[in-house]
Structure formats: C-alpha cells, structure tokens
Amino acid sequence: MINNKFLDIYYGHDDSIFLDLNPCEYIEKTDNEILAALNIDAAYQVEVIRTCDFNVAIFVRIIAKDGLDEIKIEGEFYKINRVSQELVDIQICVVMKNEWHRLNSFLRFYRKVHNISRFIIYDNQSDEPAPMEFQSDPELVIIKWDIPYNLALSSPIASPPLDWTIAAQNSAYSNCLKKYHHSQWTLLVDLDEFIVCKESKNNLLDLTRLLPNLVDTIIFTGFWAGCNGMQDEAITNELDKIILRSSENCANKLMLRTRQHYFTRSIHWPYPSLRGGNQILPDPSNSFYFLHLWTASTKRRTCECWKYCSMLDMTLSNSVKAFNVPCT
C-alpha cells in the first residue's frame, strides 16, 4: 500500500496508468466525488472503474501519452511502478491470511500437476510475515495487502441491499490482473482448493492449449472434499488420501485470460471480458473441476464430512500419484 487511500499505482499492459483505490475510503463516494478529490491533471483522460456487485474493487484508469515516471494526485507526486516479468502460460493469484502452513503443499500440487511456475500471493493482514523459504522463492510474488477483509457500510449497496461488503479479495484480484499481466491466464483460487480432472494425466496447460482464441473465461465447478478424519494441519500434506466429496456444488472458481479482465463479479462469477470473448464451464462429469477441503477451510473448522462428503471421488488422489507430487 502507498497510504491509507491508495493501494498501488502502476502501468498496465496497454500503457494505461492504474491507480488502485482503497475501497474502505472510496466505496461510498460517487465517481465525480472521487475525481474531484484526486485532482488529476485535466490534460489526461481519466475514468473511475468499479465493480457493480458485492465484493468491491475500485480503481482509476489514466491515459497519458508522454511516458510519465510520476504523477500528481491530491497535490503530491507519486512514482508510477512498472512490473517486468517473463511471459508464462498460467499464474495463480491467492488472497490469504495466517495460512503459511498450507502453502508448501499447495505449491507442490500446482507445480507438479499443472506445471505452474508463478504464484501471486496477497497476504491480507497475517499475524506473522512469510517464512524466509517463501520470501526467497523466485516463483512467488508476496504482496502485503493491509486492508480489512470485510467492510461495514453506512449506506447499503448491491441488490438485495447489504450493510457490509468484502474489501480485500476482489481488489487484490483486480491488482493482479492489471499489474501482473505477463501471463496468458490467471487462476483465482484459495489455498485449500485444488483443480482436478477426471483424466488424471490432463492438466490446466492441456486445457488452455485446446481452447479457441476467443475464449477468455473458464468457470470451474466446485465440490467440498472430505477429510477422512485428518486434522487441519495434516490434511494438505496427505492429498492422496482425499477420496470423498460432496454430491452438490459448493461454488465456482475462475481462470481468466489475464489481459481481458479487470476484476471478477463477486469472486465466483465473471464480468464479460474486455473484448466480449467467450466463456466455458467444463463438465465435471468428464473434465475439470475443483475440490475445496472442508476441514482446511477457515470458515468451517468443525468437520461435517459425514453430512456433506459421502461420494467416492479418487481424482485428487489419482492426480497426486500420477504426477508424483511429494507429500513433504
């Protein structure tokens, strides 16, 4: 974060300048009120862009043709960042808090099974900093995202009206899609969510290489996965033992063509891509879907696998074995 108002300022892939705003400061202001307060040079083309639904992201797009290194906002000059990275096929974006103990198994799985080599990790106010093994990992970008996850509102938004919203997650996703754009695709998942396929030897790279060029959005169906009596600390290190799941869907997760999206629609659904590209939803009966580990979920510490996870599903176990994912 730059200060309590501005999360980040940087160049995007098309040389637009993006100023990501702290939703806690700006969500209840109109676009005109925001532009008046920022007082950006009238010589530049400036627009406020925000999500229209619950789970908010707000930013300002500035078009300046003179290759600025800094820009004046509210009477002060701010340096404009520019990220330089090698282009990769797929990167993963994660928003997490106090989950460093889960990260190793997550990285092992996605590196071995899906051949992913870039992970953008937004640390949303963890009690402890990232362990040194992660700070020194060249495949990880760890970003301190120091705004509250939830935000109370004085004026209800959305439909039906809500008096609170999620401030941290979609704003982080938006930052990733616009700033870390050197990846063809960006997968948005949590550390307790694992993409699997009915055909154990297929991975996400295989999927993207088969897609038509006009597909910009992949929507994965999800199911709760049972813990088989394991505790939270152990479950992510023994993914090969996860063989039960729920029969009904729990949510969706998205993989987005990075340069065609600014943010998500309430995390689980997409907005139309910038060029109006196509969406696909793989059929979980014969293709890709994701498993959400019930016990590892911070929202559901009490195991209720007996109730929700009664369907045999060997896809996660088979993937771990097929791609030789190490347990520790």
| Cα separation, 144 vs 319, whole angstroms | 32
| Cα separation, 232 vs 96, whole angstroms | 16
Coil, helix or strand for 106?
helix
- Whether 194 has a pLDDT exceeding 60, the answer reads yes
Residue with tokens 């970008």: 141
What's the rounded mean pLDDT across residues 300-324? 80
Least-confidence region, from 32-36, 199-203, 272-276, 295-299: 295-299
Note whether 254 and 186 are within 8 A (CB).
Answer: no
pLDDT at 304: 66
Q: Bigger pLDDT: 325 or 134? A: 134
> Domain residue spans in the chain?
6-79, 88-322
Burial of 78 (C-beta count, 10 Å sphere; 0-12/13-18/19+):
middle
What are the angstrom distances between the C-alpha of 241 and each of 223, 228, 248? Answer: 16, 8, 21
- Whether 230 has a pLDDT exceeding 80, the answer reads no
pLDDT tens digits, one per residue of 53-107: 778 899 999 998 778 999 999 999 999 999 999 999 999 999 999 999 889 999 9
- Whether 233 has a pLDDT exceeding 90, the answer reads no
- Whether 158 has a pLDDT exceeding 60, the answer reads no
Note whether 165 and 56 are within 8 A (CB).
Answer: yes
pLDDT tens digits, one per residue of 286-306: 999 999 987 655 555 566 666
Burial of 34 (C-beta count, 10 Å sphere; 0-12/13-18/19+):
middle
Which amino acid, 204? Answer: L
Residues with Cβ < 8 Å from 202, sequence gap 6 or more?
A: 288
pLDDT band with cut points at 50, 70 and 90 for residue 239: confident
Torsion of CA 292, 297, 301, 302, to 10 degrees: -10
CA 240, chain centre distance (Å)? 25
pLDDT at 242: 87
pLDDT band with cut points at 50, 70 and 90 for residue 17: very high
- Whether 19 has a pLDDT exceeding 70, the answer reads yes
pLDDT tens digits, one per residue of 116-128: 999 999 999 999 9
Coil, helix or strand for 36?
helix
| Cα separation, 193 vs 220, whole angstroms | 11
pLDDT band with cut points at 50, 70 and 90 for residue 209: very high
- Whether 235 has a pLDDT exceeding 80, the answer reads no
CATH topology of domain 88-322: Spore Coat Polysaccharide Biosynthesis Protein SpsA; Chain A (3.90.550)
Give alpha helix (H) positions in the chain.
23-26, 31-38, 100-114, 132-135, 169-179, 204-210, 232-235, 305-308, 315-322
